[in-house]
Amino acid sequence: MDGRRIGVDVGGTFTDVCLSLDGELVTAKVPSTDDQSEGVMAGIEKACESAGIDPETLTEFSHAMTVSVNALLEEDGAKTALVATEGFGDVLEIGRQDRPSLYDLDAEKPTPLVPRRHRFEVDERTTTDGVERPVDDAEVEAVAERIREADVEAVAVSLLHAYAHPENEARVAEILRSELDVPVSASHEVLAEFREYERTSTTAVDAYVRPAIDRYVSHLTERARDRGVPQPRIMQANGGITDAETVRQNAVSTVLSGPAAGVVGASAMAADDGSDLSGLVTFDMGGTSSDVSLVRDGEAERTTTGVINDRPIKTPMVDIETVGAGGGSIAWVDAGGALRIGPRSAGAEPGPACYGKGGTEPTVTDANLVLGYIGGSTSLGGEMSLDEAAAHDALADLADEAGMDGPLAAARGVYRVANANMTRAIRSVTVERGYDPRKFGLVAFGGAGPMHAISIADGLDIDRVIIPRASGVLSAYGLLAADEKRDAVRTFQRPVADVDPDAVDAVYEELSAELLAEVSDRERATVTCSADLRYAGQSFELTVDVDRPFDAEEARARFGDAHESAYGYRADEPVELVNCRVTTTVPRSEPSLEYTGGGDARKGTRDATFADGTHETPVYGRERLAPGDAVDGPAIVEGDESTIVVPPAWEVQVRDDGALLAQKGDT
């Protein structure tokens, strides 16, 4: 028995729900709301009603949200102050001094999250060897008073070399927390890692989004308690679940919560089927964006550095490439007359023109409706009817502006441009990293992903596309399959040849003890150690797994393999150890699900336009397809949460688990 477990993922347009009970999977999709917790609870109520159970009988509630990333993208986070070492108050503005666009003389860097008037400095000095000049408590108290007068909502503290010796920074944070009634983020707690700009930027982001995360999680927790639903467990950017209190204290860890859940769900539901694939490319197309990632050896690729809205964030996260092309992305014509898609989105309100909520601008969803991929009688999410005439009107206006021959031509153009944008994203995580996409399978999910995936795969010569069961709400399913994860890092910079193994092991032991003290089940927790290594003189590192006790020669060999894989060569140069990393994992059982399907799958036909012209295309109901059934393209397979478009020359087979496997036929 898996219990009654529910996962809820908030997207830009829809809030997705997966409920697992007694081997059955119940899904739901409701419109996202301004107060995300309202949509979350509405989704829970809808899924439970469909399953015929009371929400009070749920045994587990997992959640992915967009609160932090929305605050960064929309720049409406907390009014934040920064406390830095004297002389270093402008580190956020100086950054790395590189130009965002090399040949653009008018290029501007993003506005710092903390304006200069809210940056404060304290007279202290810490080096990598230790504290040279302690902070003066009276000076910090005076800074606290100035911060109070500035009426800020959060404070970030990032002092020079606090990653190595945090005594001064810890004292500053302690005084500020006692003097001020606002959250204080300290860099040695957020990111105990060297590189001043990235550490300060990450700490500032944590402070900037922390009040919003705290309000949201508190509100959601209260709503769940009132309805008798278990307290939410939150998805982090690293692809692991943790408790709500942890993310309230480490808000920056939620920046890619939803996309990370999608990759976890894709990895779980598109498990190796015996093919000789090198791995999987996950493709998640939602309402506002598309997210692409790699899964190799059954594990999602992870990174320790990301950029959101041109701001660097260093925190362990699933390595995801995002483009602003989703179902709600608006199509427009640029000054040169070229058709463009996104990044501006119609969102949930008013949404695409076909939603009938007042939207008039053409979107990718409107184009799919005009092309016949979505039927005029189709109901999105099982309840939202579509306005076919409004979609045609919006595409007609776009056709006039672009000089195209009517709505159908404009719709074909929108579909092709959107696919080109997403193809570039897939190439960036495969070809540009030395991987041949033809050796990977493509896993398509999200509300709009399966409508575009097979055409995209065709263009990349990928001959296997997997559309998992519940593909339209797969991020919500990923919340049910994700393990509990916690990460810690500490800079420990030494030439590998000079490393004292006992000293390195002492660092790993301390980090492991810190994480194990916080896990939900210490007996079942596993500990993984890794190290950031580089050749002497290099500016950036590669992360490789290391054994305990630390073996310098083994670490050097693994780094050489990783460097050759990433850059095509290995060098006979000294190797440096830079950072020690530890990850603890408490495994959670993936829901045990059954799929039967069956019945009269054929629903009818409608005209749909493909690259080779318009076809009278059969339409099938997804849940009526039984394991072993096959469908030849052109065809359209409709489900409540997503629609699969099968172009000519492709065929789809139903796997035993309910996933659809699309393969290109003989041509």
pLDDT bucket at 1, cuts 50 / 70 / 90: very low
Same domain, residue pair 248 and 369 = no
Are both 531 and 394 inside the same structural domain? no
CB 462 within 8 A of CB 438: yes
Residues 69 and 168 in one domain: yes
In this structure, of 82-91, 280-289, 484-493, 552-561, the range with the lowest mean pLDDT score is: 280-289
Q: Is residue 352 part of a domain?
A: yes
Please tell me whether residues 15 and 103 are part of one structural domain. Answer: yes
How large is the average pLDDT for residues 299-325?
87
Q: Is the pLDDT of residue 382 over 60?
A: no
Verify that 83 and 206 share a domain, yes or no. yes
Give the model confidence (pLDDT) of 256-294 as tens digits.
Answer: 898 899 999 888 877 655 566 778 999 999 877 888 999
Per-residue pLDDT averaged across 396-412, rounded? 94
What's the whole-number mean pLDDT along residues 152-156?
97
The mean pLDDT of 388-401, rounded to a whole number, is: 94
Q: Quick one: which of 267, 303, 312, 277 has its CA closest to 566?
A: 303
Tell me what the mean pLDDT of segment 494-504 comes to: 93
Pairing of strands 233-235, 60-64: parallel
As a whole number, mean pLDDT of residues 202-219 equals 95
466 or 590, which is more confident: 466
Same domain, 23 and 165: yes
User: What tens digit of pLDDT does each residue of 437-467 get?
Assistant: 999 999 999 888 999 999 999 999 999 999 9
Return the bridge partners of 663, or none: 464, 651
Least confident of 119-128, 144-153, 324-333, 388-397: 324-333
For 200-210, what is the mean pLDDT?
Answer: 97
Give the 3-state DSSP-derived string for 164-231, with helices as H, strands as E and coil as C: CCCHHHHHHHHHHHHHCCCCEEEHHHHCCCCCHHHHHHHHHHHHHHHHHHHHHHHHHHHHHHHHCCCC
412 and 493, same domain (yes or no) = no
pLDDT of residue 399: 94
Residue 208 resides in a domain: yes
Residue 631 domain-assigned? no
Q: Report d(CA 250, CA 419) in Å as an integer.
A: 36
Burial letters 163-193, b for 16+ CB under 10 A, else e: bbbbbbbbbbbebbbeebebbbbbbbbbbbb
Q: Return the structure tokens found at 384.
A: 């939202």
Let me know whether 499 and 411 are in one domain: no
What are the angstrom distances between the C-alpha of 13 and each of 18, 66, 261, 353? 17, 11, 17, 14
What integer pLDDT is reported at residue 272 of this predicted model?
Answer: 55
Q: State residue 310's pLDDT score.
A: 82
Residues 254 and 334 in one domain: no
Residue 667 has pLDDT above 60, yes or no: no
Query: Is 342 within a domain?
Result: yes
- Is 642 within 8 Å of 448 (Cβ atoms)? yes
pLDDT of res. 271: 65
| Residue 624, domain member (yes or no) | no
pTM given for the model: 0.87
Round to whole Å and give the CA distance between 450 and 430.
Answer: 20
Kindly report the number of other CB atoms within 10 A of residue 119's CB atom.
Answer: 20
Task: Look at the alpha carbons of 63, 66, 72, 78 in this order and tell me if their dihedral is positive or negative.
Answer: negative
Query: Last residue of a domain, which of 395, 417, 439?
Result: 417
Structurally, the chain folds into a number of domains equal to 3
Stretch 542-561: mean pLDDT, rounded? 94
Nearest to 437 by CA among 445, 449, 429: 429
Per-residue pLDDT tens digits for 349-378: 788 999 888 889 999 999 999 999 998 766
The total number of residues shown for the chain amounts to 667
Query: Could you tell me how far CA 620 lies from the centroid of its own chain?
Result: 31
* Average pLDDT score, the chain: 91
Q: Classify residue 595: in a domain, yes or no.
A: no
Query: Which of 259, 235, 285, 630 shows the shortest CA–CA distance to 472?
Result: 285
The answer to whether position 346 is within a domain reads yes
Check whether residue 16 and residue 142 sit in a common domain.
yes
DSSP states of 308-359? ETTEEE-S-EE-EEEES--TTEEEEE-TTS-EEEEEEE-TTTT-SGGG-SS-
Last-in-domain residue among 528, 551, 586: 586
405 and 511 inside one domain? no
What mean pLDDT comes out for the span 403-421?
Answer: 94
**Looking at the structure, do residues 408 and 524 belong to the same domain, yes or no?**
no
Between CA 238 and CA 471, with CA 242 as vertex, the angle to 5 degrees is 60
413 membership: H or E segment, kind and range: helix 406-429
- 568: how many CB neighbours lie within 10 A of its CB? 8
What does the pLDDT read at residue 366? 94
Point out the domain boundary residue: 553, 586, 619: 586
pLDDT of 548 strictly over 60:
yes
Task: Residue 182: give the domain boundaries.
Answer: 1-258
Asked if the structure places residue 263 within a domain, the reply is no
The Cα 244–Cα 515 span in angstroms is: 16
Q: Other CB atoms closer than 10 Å to residue 499's CB: what's the count?
A: 18
* Contact (CB, 8 A) for 263 and 279: no
